[in-house]
Structure 1
Amino acid sequence: MIEFEPGQLQEGDALVIVDVQKDFLPGGSLAVSEGDAVVPVLNRYIGEFHQRGLPVYATRDWHPPDHCSFREQGGIWPPHCIAGTEGAEYAPGLRLPATAVTISKATTPEKDAYSGFDDTDLAARLHAVGVKRVFVGGLATDYCVLNTVRDALNEGFGVMLLRDAVRAVDVQPGDGDRAEREMESLGARPVKLGAR
C-alpha cells in the first residue's frame, strides 16, 4: 500500500465516497462490521479535497420499498436504504461539503446496481469536469466499492483505492480481501493518506 501526501493531489482528481449510509453502519438493517470506522478517515480525505477545490461525489442506494434485491422480492438482502427513510441517510458525522454531488443508484424496483456508475450520470459528470483520477472509499469493499472501482477503470479513470477507508460485508469470510486483490489486479492502486 502506498502512502500519499495531500500535496500530491492535483487538478483532475476527484473523491468518490460509496454508500456511507446509516443502514450499512453497526445497528443498521444491513450492517457492515466496523462500517462507522470509515467516517473519520473519509472526513480527512473530504477536507483535503475540499480545501484544494477538487470535486467530491457521494453515491447512495436509494431503493423503492419493493426493490428486487430485498428478500421479500426474491433478492438476497434485507430491506435497506429505502428512499426517504432514516436508514438511507448518510452516516452521522460524515462531513460532506455543500458542493458535494449526490449520485442515487438502484432507484427502480426491477434493477439492482452495486456500482455508482450503473444507470447514473456519474461518468458523464466526471468527464465533464476533466476528472482523470478517482479516489474511492466507502462501503462495502466486496460489493459497491468493488463494482464502482471496476466501472471507473472501464470508463478510463485512474483509480486509487482508499484502503484505510473501506470495510467489507464478508458474507463469506475473506470476501473483502479477495475484492481488494481483484481491484488491484484490474489496475486500482491501494493508497492511504499519510500523517500530517
Structure 2
Amino acid sequence: MAEPNFQPALLVIDMQEDFCPPNGALAIPDGRSIIPLINTLLALPTLPLKIATKDWHPPNHISFRTSHPPPQGSHLNTTTTTTITNPLNPAETYTTRLWPPHCIQSTPGAALVPELDRAALTHTIEKGTDARLEMYSAFYPPLQDPRVGDSGLAALLRAHGTTHVYVVGLAGDYCVRRTAEDAVREGFVAYVIEEGTRAVDREGWEGCKREMEGAGVQVVAWEGREVRRLFVE
C-alpha cells in the first residue's frame, strides 16, 4: 500500500542527442546505455508526474567557448571558465565551465533522444534559455540576490503535492547533481538513481557522490528499497 506522505515524481534530465554518443557535440560516455532503465521508470503508474528537462540554448550562450574571445574562448578541447554576473545585481557573480556549443534551440542536437519513451512524459521544461546565464539545475541558475531564471519546476512539483523526486539523466556530475541539490533546498526528498546517470568525469564520480550526499541528496541503487517502493502500488 502506498504511503500517504509519499508522492513521488520523476525528473529525467537532459536526455538529448548532443549529450549522447555517437554524434553528440558534448557526448557523455555510455550516455545512451541508461535509456532502458529510464523507460522502465516512465512506465510506472506510481510516478504520475514524469518531467523531462532540456538544455535549450541560444546560439550565443555564455557557456559556449565560441561566445568568448581567445584565450578564454579557445575552440580547443580544454577546460576554461568564465565569470557570470547576476543581471539584476552586479555584486553577485559565479564561475562556470565553458563547453563546446551544444543543445542549440531547434537543432537536432537539442532533441530528446528518440529511444526515450517521450509519450510517457507529462511535462517538458526548457532550461538555459537566457544567453547571459548558465543553468545546470532544472530549477534556476545559482543566483539568489535576487533569484533570476526560475523555470517553474518547484511550483509544478508543489502543485502536484510532490514529496520525493527521483532524478536520472545526464550528466551526473553537472545537471543531475545541481537539480537534485536544489530539490533538497526546495524541501523535497531527492534521490539520484546511480544506474540511471552517467558522469562527464568518471574518475571524479565518487567524490561527486559524497558532495551530493553532504548536501542532503541520497544517491541510491536500482535494487535499493528507495527505488523498489515504486514497484509496489
Normalised by the size of structure 2, how large is the TM-score?
0.74
* Counterpart contact for 2:192–2:217, Cα < 8 Å: yes
The residue type equivalent to 2:65 in the other structure is R
Correspondent of 2:164 among 118, 133, 136: 133
Correspondent of 1:63 among 57, 61, 75: 57
CA distance in 2, matches of 1:99, 1:58: 7
**Pairwise CA distance, 1:174:** 2.2
Matched, 1:113 2:135: yes
Matched, 1:40 2:62: no
CA distance in 1, matches of 2:176, 2:213: 13
Matched, 1:101 2:130: no
* Counterpart contact for 1:11–1:54, Cα < 8 Å: no
Aligned to 1:184: 213
* Counterpart contact for 2:53–2:127, Cα < 8 Å: yes
The residue type equivalent to 1:81 in the other structure is C
Superposed CA offset, 1:56-112 (max 9, x none)? 011110000110000011361111000111000011210023552101101011111
Correspondent of 2:182 among 139, 151, 163: 151
Correspondent of 1:160 among 182, 191, 205: 191
The unaligned stretches of length 5 or more in structure 1 are 1-6
RMSD over aligned CA atoms reads 2.0
* DSSP-derived class of the 1:141 partner: coil
Superposed CA offset, 1:111-169 (max 9, x none)? 11000001200000001110010000110011101110110000000011111100001
CA distance in 2, matches of 1:84, 1:9: 41
CA distance in 1, matches of 2:33, 2:4: 23
* DSSP-derived class of the 2:174 partner: helix
* DSSP-derived class of the 2:66 partner: helix
CA distance in 1, matches of 2:28, 2:121: 27
Matched, 1:174 2:203: yes
Aligned to 1:123: 154
* % same residue: 40
- CA gap 1:180/1:150 in 2 versus in 1, 3 angstroms: same
Aligned to 1:91: 113
Normalised by the size of structure 1, how large is the TM-score?
0.88
The unaligned stretches of length 5 or more in structure 2 are 69-81, 83-97, 141-149
* Counterpart contact for 2:57–2:102, Cα < 8 Å: yes
Aligned to 1:20: 15
- CA gap 1:53/1:14 in 2 versus in 1, 3 angstroms: closer
Correspondent of 2:104 among 79, 82, 96: 82
Matched residue count: 186
Deviates more, 1:121-130 or 1:92-101: 92-101
CA distance in 2, matches of 1:10, 1:192: 22
Q: Which has the higher contact order (CA 8 A, sep 6+)?
A: 1
